[in-house]
Amino acid sequence: MAKQVLLGWQISTLHGWGVYGLNLALNWASDRQIESATTMFDPDLIVDIDPIQYRALGPFVRRSQEFQKVLQSRANGRIKYKGAYVAALGNDLRALANAYQAKITGKPTIGAVFFESSLAPEAIERAKDFSLIVTGSIWNEKVLRAYGIENVSTIHQGIDPAYFHRGPKRGFLKDRFLIFSGGKPEYRKAQDIVLAAFKVFSMHHPEAVLVTAWQSFWPELARSLDWSELLSPVVFNEKYQFNPSGWAIANGIPAHRLIDLGVVPNRKMPAILREMDVAVFPNRAEGGTNLVAMECMACGLPVILSRNTGHVDLIENDSCYTLDDQRQTARGFAGIDGVAGWGESQIDEIVERLEQVYSDRTEAKRRGARAAERLAHLAWQATAQKMKDVVIKVA
């Protein structure tokens, strides 16, 4: 008899949690030992997948829609799910709420977490509600164990090697040096450091262009980038959407030196990434391994990574360029100060790494190739198998 598994978050091709859930659902679709569904299902957030994938997701979609009816009938109440329930957890181990505010427990109840904060006493108590907590990085696991939470295991996210792999460049902007930066704009993701470093580097390299994938569904988080005071305040457009180009101009960077990609579905990113010359991630903290960085590495892109938190799990055998000068950050989100691991990357070191890539393209390609080789083994298929093993074992 198949094990029923309920995911506590929306699947999507437009944000990290959604890509995680979508790939679990797709990899479990043909597994007779698993019947999966989700507590939240909005078809408008699943864009740019092919007809074969839609067909494979059919049973998952039907089960999810059926569960919506159960949620509606138990609004603000409690639901004892007959299978495993995997809750999406964030800072302070708080579970993502469903649209009907129903409290769900399963057999077993498992938490999947990516967090960057210290834990309040109630969070430590909340951990007892889960038979197991699956973290996205070794750093997250170490932090939980430091708080005395022992029911923890790390399972890394993956990449889809059918999309994210090495391939030829189309060469549309081959006369430019393209620097990629991705992630939702916020203090933790450190776009302020990226832009400040790019400003310095581009003064010496007029062909340099910063290509950004910085849009998100939570534009208000971008205001936290002003905390560092490295740059002029962030800029928003008339629709209150974060405006990377306007922010660059406000900081003395000409508009033609930046390409804002806007919101791009996950499966359209590989062709874009293969055009890049380098990707830079001076992130202050990552509860997971940083899915966007993983996808860049899988495409064979030379990647510059801050040596802190979840990024450390990706750093191995010269497969990337590292930012080793990690200093104490000025601040973090409310209640986050004091958690060990956050790091402040230095602008001069980022510029130095960019110069390394620029001046020695052969070495950059070698590191990119090593990264692609390693990331091919961190596929979603392996993630789904490990999650399945956990669900069955814990049950």
Radius of gyration in angstroms for the set of CA atoms belonging to the chain, rounded to a whole number: 21
Query: Rounded distance, CA 9 to CA 7, Å?
Result: 6
Domains of the chain: 3-158+379-394 (3.40.50), 177-375 (3.40.50.2000)
CA distance linking residue 370 with residue 367, whole number of Å: 5
User: Helix axis angle, 361-375 relative to 347-359, nearest 10°?
Assistant: 100
Residue 174: DSSP 8-state: T
* Chain-centroid distance, C-alpha 354: 23
Q: What angle do CA 205, 308, 183 make, to 5 degrees?
A: 60
Helix/strand/coil percentages in the chain, nearest 5: 40, 15, 40
Phi, psi of 183 (to 5 degrees): 130, 155
| Element containing residue 132 per DSSP (H, E) | strand 132-135
What is the reported pTM?
0.94
pLDDT in tens, the chain (395 residues): 899 999 999 999 888 999 999 999 999 999 999 999 999 988 888 878 899 999 999 999 999 999 999 999 999 999 999 999 999 999 899 999 888 999 999 999 999 999 998 899 999 999 999 999 999 999 999 999 999 999 999 999 999 999 999 999 999 999 999 999 999 999 999 999 999 999 999 999 999 999 999 998 889 999 999 999 999 999 999 988 999 999 999 999 999 999 999 999 899 999 999 999 999 999 999 999 999 999 999 999 999 999 999 999 999 989 999 999 999 886 644 334 457 789 999 999 999 999 999 999 999 999 999 999 999 999 999 999 999 999 999 87
Q: What single-letter amino acid sits at 33?
A: Q
